[in-house]
Amino acid sequence: MAAPESAETDLLSELRAVFTADPLIDEYGILPQDALPGDGSHFFVQEHKLAISRACLQTLFYQGVSKLEDPQWADAATRAVLLSSGDHYVAWHRRKLLVMQRAVDLEQELRLTAVVFSLRPKAGNAWSHRRFVAAEVAATATPGDLSTLWREELQVCAVLAHRSARNYYAWTHRLWVARRLGERDLAREVAWAQRAVAASSSDRSASHHLEQLLLLTSGRDGSSAPAPSVSNLEVATPAAIVEAERLVKENPGREALWQHLRSLFAATWSTVGGADVSLAPSDVESLEFVVSPHPEDSQRLDNEHRGGSPWVEAAFQIRFAHRCSTTPCAWNEGEQHRFARSHAMFVLFHVLRALRSTNPRHALVSVIQGRAVFLLAELQAGSSPQSAAMSTEDHPRPTGTAGSALSSDSHFNSGSHPVFWSALALDVAEFSPATTTRNPGR
């Protein structure tokens, strides 16, 4: 015999009454039954905070699932399921249908996602639903209301990113919002991201967000939405690189900051490539400095010259890496020196790859490529110049897809890997005079 209707929905009715009495609930938690005050109810609310008895959680979930398709109970049933299982795809899809039918208030729907986030900040389906609802609100909002909406979304992301480290969903949602900001709000978002990077030196999420904002302001992030012209990447990047270098020096051994610096350099270097790479006399002079056995000896590099040429920036990066790899640190010295050498190798790889697009018969280019062997040896921790040159004989040269895969920037996130060092040694030694003599047919 089927259970009476009241027994099948008693918890749903109780939960619906709770949200009707206090529609401003913004947080919830699961507590043991004996920890709940009151008259033995399964729910307790105080100051817009909801406590749910753990004893009723399973029953609440199954009651909600049984009523998901019932139009009279869809709102309460989906809420019950989501408070029990915040990433339940079917329940979020059912609520999406309710939103499309305008059977629920959009502001209350945003509030519901915030309630779910209070206990499950990394519920991916909840973040997807929030973006859908925010887009629905934005479609009919006035300019003033739209600005308020985006500020509230940014605030939600900031709180949840702080509460749960490396919250990919929160940072992705924040970038989604940033792509819809006006010029002034986007400038404020860039400033906020810069402060976030300085405050969270070990969290790669903040620095990656800043990099995406710089790409966004330059219109090169691949998004379909037109980007406001707050600044240009070629103008913003040198200042961002200087700031990243400051953070690297003040926070030694933080891999996230080194990756941030590497990404910013790669952004400036993205203008160099293809078969039309040209070298001005000043560029050749900078490249000679890049492969100098003692980068610290030169005093001609000056911050006033930054931004003029990617080749010049490469020289700056080599000098910075050399300083970091030789400067004592109060803590994390070994890690700092290792990351510095990896960064220098990353820069050197880009320089060599670009040089291959020029005329390999150019006399100065040949000298630079040959001298790069000695820089490679000096950058390897605990290695001598002889070991770097010999590494080309110890390891067979990669060919086919494996060889081309080594040219991908994504393979250099862990620059201390032996394959990384071997591949770079092969790249450099291929153009060295000694290698050319040994292998005249190459």
Please tell me the predicted confidence (pLDDT) of residue 140: 93
- Give tens-digit pLDDT for 184-240: 899 999 999 999 999 988 889 999 999 999 888 876 565 555 444 444 444 457 888
Same domain, 150 and 288: no
The alpha-helical segments, DSSP class H, found in 300-432 are 310-326, 333-355, 363-379, 385-394, 400-405, 418-429
Same domain, 28 and 108: yes
DSSP 8-state assignment for residue 123:
-
Same domain, 157 and 19: no
Same domain, 30 and 107: yes
Rounded distance, CA 245 to CA 401, Å? 35
Same domain, 136 and 167: no
User: With bands split at pLDDT 50, 70 and 90, how would you rate the model's confidence at 132?
Assistant: very high
What radius of gyration, in Å, describes the C-alpha atoms of the chain?
A: 29
Q: Which domain holds residue 300?
A: 233-442
**175 - beta bridge partners?**
none
Whether the Cβ atoms of residue 270 and residue 351 lie closer than 8 Å to each other:
no
Q: How many CB atoms lie within 10 A of CB 3?
A: 8
Rounded distance, CA 167 to CA 230, Å? 27
Domain end among 105, 140, 175: 140
Q: Is 140 helix (H, G, I), strand (E, B) or coil?
A: coil
- Give tens-digit pLDDT for 278-337: 666 666 666 666 666 565 555 556 655 666 678 788 888 988 998 898 899 988 998 999
Domain end among 140, 170, 201: 140
Domain end among 140, 164, 182: 140
Same domain, 257 and 373: yes
Same domain, 99 and 166: no
Residue identified by tokens 């990896």 is 342
Q: What is the dihedral of CA 430, 434, 438, 441, to 10 degrees?
A: 50
DSSP 8-state assignment for residue 51:
E
Same domain, 105 and 194: no
CA 415 to each of CA 161, 244, 381, 410: distance values in angstroms, whole numbers, following the listed order: 28, 19, 12, 10
Same domain, 175 and 186: yes
User: With bands split at pLDDT 50, 70 and 90, how would you rate the model's confidence at 433?
Assistant: very low
DSSP 8-state assignment for residue 361:
T
Same domain, 185 and 282: no
**Closest C-alpha to 363, from 255, 284, 441, 263:** 284
Please tell me the predicted confidence (pLDDT) of residue 301: 61
User: What DSSP string describes 363-387?
Assistant: HHHHHHHHHHHHHHHHHSTT--HHH
Give phi and psi for 118, each to the nearest 5. -60, -25
Whether the Cβ atoms of residue 428 and residue 352 lie closer than 8 Å to each other:
yes
Same domain, 127 and 153: no
Q: What is the domain count for the chain?
A: 3
Give phi and psi for 190, each to the nearest 5. -60, -45
**Closest C-alpha to 244, from 173, 183, 324, 130:** 324
- Give tens-digit pLDDT for 208-219: 999 999 888 876
Rounded distance, CA 382 to CA 62, Å? 62
Same domain, 198 and 291: no
The enclosing H or E element of 116 equals helix 106-119
Please tell me the predicted confidence (pLDDT) of residue 298: 52
**Closest C-alpha to 108, from 41, 81, 43, 116:** 116
